[in-house]
Amino acid sequence: MPEAETDFAVFARAHTPALIRSAYLLTGDQHHAEDLVQSALSRTHRHWRRVGDPIAYTRKAMYHLQVSRWRRGRVREHLTDVIADRTPARVPDVALRLTVRNALMDLSRQQRAVIVLRFFEDLDVAGTAAVLGCSPGTVKKYTFRALAHLREALPELAELMEGDA
């Protein structure tokens, strides 16, 4: 295996779990999250030799792919009697995990993307603006509105979020 292929394989193995967690928060569905990460990694692999910061490149690809998906409006949910066989998050309380997931899904797509980038990917305002292709003021506006919604929807977590605003 050539050195570039080996480097990409090591990168993909090391970062896929964190990327899937972020993708799950964006999509709300484990299978869509895995597809999103796979597509983003595929783009990263195609341009591997030219990529300066592979994690930033992959994240940006992932967010752009998800925004395109939202714009196409192809998100279809299928009701099923089968419960997923694995849980994507590491939150021990199932009720809390579902409450947080539902609150995130109630946010607008822009607000959700900002929350995921700022608080789950730990990007600053400028980094979030760069990934989303918007101004820092827009990031601040979406952050403010999203946190206000989450405080209302999740009063038990409000004190945890107070230091993050």
Residue recorded with tokens 């998100």: 75
Roughly what angle, to the nearest 10 degrees, separates helices 125-132 and 136-153? Answer: 100
Average pLDDT over every residue of 25-51:
86
Inform me whether the pLDDT recorded for 157 exceeds 50. yes
Our count of domains for the chain comes to 2
At 75, the pLDDT band (50, 70, 90 cuts) reads very low
- pLDDT band, residue 4 (cuts 50/70/90): low
Tell me which of 88, 122, 156 is where a domain ends. 88
Structure confidence at residue 32 (pLDDT): 87
Evaluate if residue 77 carries a pLDDT over 60: no
Which of 153, 60, 146, 127 lies closest to 164 in space, CA to CA?
146
Q: How many CB atoms lie within 10 A of CB 114?
A: 29
Q: Same domain, yes or no, for 28 and 60?
A: yes
CA distance 15 to 11: 6
Domain boundary among 88, 115, 142: 88
Tokens of 2: 């050539």
Determine the structural domain holding residue 82 and report its residue range. 1-88
pLDDT at 33: 87
Give the whole-number percent of the chain exceeding pLDDT 90. 8
Residues 139, 132 contacting (CB under 8 angstroms): yes
| pLDDT band at 67; cut points 50, 70, 90 | confident
Please state the length of the chain. 165
